[in-house]
Amino acid sequence: MATILTDTTKFSRITRNPTNDIKTKLNRIIRQTNNNSSTKLPLIEGDHRLGYAYGNVKTHKEGHPLRPIISQTPSVTYKLAKHLNELITPFTPASFSLKSTTEFLDLLKTTRPSNIMASMDVESLFTNVPVDETIDLICQRIYHLEDEEPLNIPEASLRLLLQACTKEVPFYGPDGKVYVQ
């Protein structure tokens, strides 16, 4: 885990806990968004702790590498991120994705695929996703497709909220140090 967290292209070590500053910033954006939109986002209330990073061992891989996991459950953005996910999920095209292994197996049993089907293993998938490009793709899909009714939240607000939920939330590493992705 120490090797993964020292990759400065993916993580930055920070020296102070910015949770209260993030909460203040997000509540300001949420209030402004709620004033300009019929979609109402809940304010962030209560006390929050830092998320935490840990790794699951991939026992089936040579050398037993870790699958890094950053749990944000106790963090200041957790409920907001879940709410944003619910709002943007209807804009996600489902034609090329499956929800579970069971769905995949059912598909194989009931059809005779005429093309090649592949399953890919990406090393440290979620820590390798380019966050800014992903946010751009989300906003492109939600706000700039002619056949879709856009989300009733200003695009600039959604961008700021997504950036905060993905790039500003601090977490503890197993070494006790604090990082952001």
Contact 77, 22 (CB under 8 A): yes
Q: Nearest Cα to 51, choosing from 35, 72, 65, 68?
A: 72
Residue 90 burial (10 A CB sphere; 0-12, 13-18, 19+): exposed
Contact 170, 178 (CB under 8 A): yes
What is the pLDDT, as a whole number, of residue 109?
83
What is the pLDDT, as a whole number, of residue 123?
56
Secondary structure of residue 108 in the 3-state scheme: helix
What is the pLDDT, as a whole number, of residue 139?
94
Give the whole-angstrom CA distance, residue 179 versus residue 162. Answer: 18
Residue 144 burial (10 A CB sphere; 0-12, 13-18, 19+): exposed
Per-position pLDDT tens, the chain of length 181: 888 899 998 899 999 999 999 999 999 999 999 998 888 999 999 999 999 999 989 888 888 888 888 899 999 999 999 999 999 988 887 766 777 778 878 877 888 777 776 665 555 555 677 889 999 999 999 998 877 788 899 999 999 999 999 999 999 999 999 999 8
* pTM, 2 dp: 0.80
Pairing status of strand 66-71 against strand 171-172? unpaired
Residue with tokens 């009714």: 149
Cβ contacts of 77 within 8 Å, gap of 6 or more: 22, 26, 44, 164, 165, 168, 169
What is the pLDDT, as a whole number, of residue 103?
83
DSSP state of 70: E
